Chains A and B, each alone.
Chain A
Amino acid sequence: MKRFDCLRALAEVANEALIVSSAGAMTLEWNYLRPGDGNFRVRTLGLCSSIALGMALGLPDRKVIALDGDGSLLMNLSSLATIARMRPKNLIHIVFDNEVYEASGSKKTATGAGTDLVSVALAAGIKNALWANALDDFAKAVAVALNAHELCFIGAKVSTERTEVPPYPIDEVENKYRFIRHVEKTAGIEILKRHLPASYD
């Protein structure tokens, strides 16, 4: 299964969902397939699931989808326990498992040596956790998760194949501001309040 095909299937149905993605080729592929300010690229390896959790808890009426990688999640396995504990109904945690640190020279990760991330998620207490190993299964799992009002974890075993797409178009700070403005507009809330005095105080 190709990650790009999975992402394309997701892009067709993701609609207004906020997307948090772990840095690397996956983020570029996703941004090519669904460009927009509702995408947030994570630069700290491991932190994708945690940032997505914070968003889901802070904006409970909006679907938040974490696009994670095996190397990233392995670095922050404890986040699965925290996610299970908080159990946000609006969070979908998708892990594309290609069994290598793709962005770091493609050395094998622990999943390539047998660690099963769906089993880890289940053992951490996430009840809706499953593997999708064919594109149809993945599309079905995503459709179910988007319609469900419960925490879902989807593991997708994918090849190491990359698709050639343009580089990420904006830096981290612009990503932050665009994302916040997008949330303000689409959720009808004010986030960046203006406290500046009329003149220097």
Chain B
Amino acid sequence: MNSAEAAKTIVDGLKRAGINFVATLPDINLADLLREVEEDRDFIHVPVCREEEGIGICAGAYLVGKKCAAIMQNGGFFNSTNAIVSTSLQYQIPLLLLIYYAGDIGDRTFSTTGSMTEPVLQALGVRYYVMRDTGGAPELIKRAEILADDSKRPVALLLTKEVLGRRPSLQLS
């Protein structure tokens, strides 16, 4: 599946999970996904300047009845931690975090960011799932949304290059 098809599949999953409000900040690997989000009139889409804003914006939208997701890179997730702790967790507000996993195994960039991503999620007590199979993405998104709603906490889905249709197979010599 190429990145455009993967983006459509993930957005379809968000919609089938009932997500109708999305805050985003770009990463090149999220480009197709964010284009799909932006063009889809079923979402209220808020492009933020800093990811922590998005945690607050989604909290406010949740309080008035929206089902929210925030899409960002893992560096942006680090930018968001104070809001996740003292708003999302302190007030018990559900939120779906779709985090591009920069520095994942096989990447040439951001290995330090990658190495800290899962430990920080664990430290925050935010349950997370690493997504590698695009075909299974809609079901996993729905299950994550159910978990967020039931636990009244953020749940993170780590978007790898595989699930985004952006990792060609390595040419092994």
Contact = CB atoms under 8 A, between A and B. Distances in A.
A binds B: yes
Nearest to B87: A44
- By secondary structure, the B interface counts as helix
Given A43-B90, A51-B57, A58-B44, A187 B82 contact: no
A183 B63 contact: yes
Contacts of B46: 53-54, 57, 82, 86
Interface centre among A46, A47, A190 (most CB of B within 10 A): A47
B110 interface: no
A42 interface: yes
Nearest to A46: B52
Contacts of A190: 65
A20 B82 CA distance: 18
Nearest to A124: B49
A173 interface: yes
- The secondary-structure label for the interface of chain A is helix
Residue of B46, B65, B83 contacting most chain A CB atoms (<10 Å): B65
A76 B64 contact: no
Given A183-B64, A187-B64, A50 B56 contact: yes
A128 to B, nearest CB: 20
Given A82-B49, A187-B65, 16 more contacts: A43-B91, A44-B56, A46-B52, A47-B83, A48-B56, A50-B52, A50-B54, A51-B60, A54-B56, A54-B59, A54-B63, A54-B68, A58-B60, A59-B64, A78-B53, A176-B92
Interface of B: 21, 44, 46-50, 52-66, 68, 82-83, 86-87, 90-93, 146, 149-150
20 contacts: A20-B60, A40-B63, A43-B90, A47-B56, A47-B59, A47-B83, A48-B56, A51-B60, A53-B60, A54-B21, A54-B61, A54-B66, A57-B46, A58-B21, A79-B49, A82-B57, A172-B90, A183-B63, A191-B64, A195-B150
Interface of A: 18, 20, 40, 42-44, 46-59, 62, 76, 78-79, 81-82, 85-86, 172-173, 175-176, 179-180, 183-184, 187, 189-191, 195
